[in-house]
Amino acid sequence: MAAARPWSSLHEDLLASIFLLLACLTDLVRASAVSKHWRRVALHNASPLPWLLNPSTARTDCYRIFGGFADPRPALSDEIEGRGARFCGSAPGGWVVVQNRPTCRTHHWRGHAMLNLRTGERVPLPDRVHIPIKSDGIRCPMMIRAAVMSAAPPSPACVVAALTSIQTIMAFCSPGVDCWSSLPAEMTAPPDAQDLTYHDGWFWAVDSHEDLYCYKAKISTSTRTILQRGYQIRAPRTNMAPGEIVSRYLLPSASGADLLMVRRFTSPAKGRTTRFQVFKLQMQEEGRPASWRDYQMTRQVLFVGRACSKAFDTGHAGNPGYIYFLDDVYPGSPHSFLQQKEYPNTDAGGWRYSVSDEIVRCLPSAPPSDTSPCIWYHH
């Protein structure tokens, strides 16, 4: 009888299938450390999971989480490497929305742009917004807090929606226009929006009351049309510790069928995140108002961050679900992060849905950034 082959020499097709069933990054890293063969298979079968991007003025680091933290870090294009732009959001295909600071001299350009970190392609965005005041309106400088896009350029369906730092709150633009469009005077803007996403043809923003604001924009050099839907929603209440901070993230489910809201609870006394809750939007039907419902996130892994969240299907029905989160919560209003002098990377890690109080510090440690918090880079 032939001797059994050692685990370390499993066929690479079988190993690749096994790795796809592991949602926990700690498990993926440990599995890839079994042998050189396992590590080679892990790195040659690129994971769809995002990379961790840590920006700073000195350099911008990108960490490949799957395959081991010690593996060579993915290279970024020369357009962004070591530049110090502030990252405002990311999208699949390597795209990010950035703002180059006026004091930064490492770029030959200023203002906002969409950058592709894989190719170095840059699509300029305007740095002023049109506000409908008086007959013709006025144009004002603006600063983006967070931004998402409906489609990647050069698609004609590409529209960028942004949460801003000025009274307009929400603004929209497309490549080629010379000014952002704010909401018409008759539309309601979320005064303290915490996050936004693009789902089912609409831009969605959530505020601290967990109400939803939905917008559809058609922006071009000749047309500026914005539609709005609003939902006053009350999610299930939960017991909170004194001083506990609640932050919210929006993202589509892995299948794209549901809109999810993730509640994140941070304890200032403990100086860290303590737990999460996940809800899905139940649309209004038969006279019942829209509501947030508890969501059983089996076989999904969620990567949450401001304007960069994404869900993935693990393909394993027995998987209870997992959340990976970044250090992007700051005391005060949603605008407070713009006033930070540095952005630590200490309160980041993973949370397993089946173990509600367990936070695992499984993400790579990185020095504080002087430009913006870490984001998920969807390569």
4 in a domain, yes or no?
no
Low-confidence ranges of the chain (pLDDT < 50): 1, 67-72, 81-82, 103, 105-109
Residue 337: per-residue pLDDT: 66
Structural domains in the chain (count): 1
Asked if residue 229 belongs to a domain, the reply is: yes
> Considering the domain boundaries, does residue 1 fall inside one?
no
The pLDDT value given to residue 69: 44
Q: What is the rounded distance in angstroms from the CA atom of residue 168 to the CA atom of residue 171?
A: 7
- Which pLDDT value is given to residue 45? 59
Which pLDDT does position 260 carry in this prediction? 97
pTM value?
Answer: 0.85
Q: Is residue 189 part of a domain?
A: yes
What type of residue sits at position 64? Answer: R
pLDDT of residue 46: 57
Residue 2 within a domain: no
Domain membership of residue 76 (yes or no) is: yes
Report residue 181: phi and psi, to 5°.
-105, 125
β-pairing, 359-360 with 322-325?
A: unpaired
Per-residue model confidence as pLDDT tens digits over 95-109:
999 988 654 544 444
**Bridge partners, residue 291, by sequence:** 282
User: How long a stretch of residues is the chain?
Assistant: 379
Q: Is residue 24 part of a domain?
A: yes
Note whether residue 317 is domain-resident.
yes
The pLDDT assigned to 43 comes to: 65
- pLDDT tens-digit readout, 109-124: 468 999 998 888 999 9
What pLDDT, on the 0 to 100 scale, is given for residue 67? 46
Q: Residue 95's domain spans which residues?
A: 9-377
Task: Note the pLDDT of residue 39.
Answer: 77
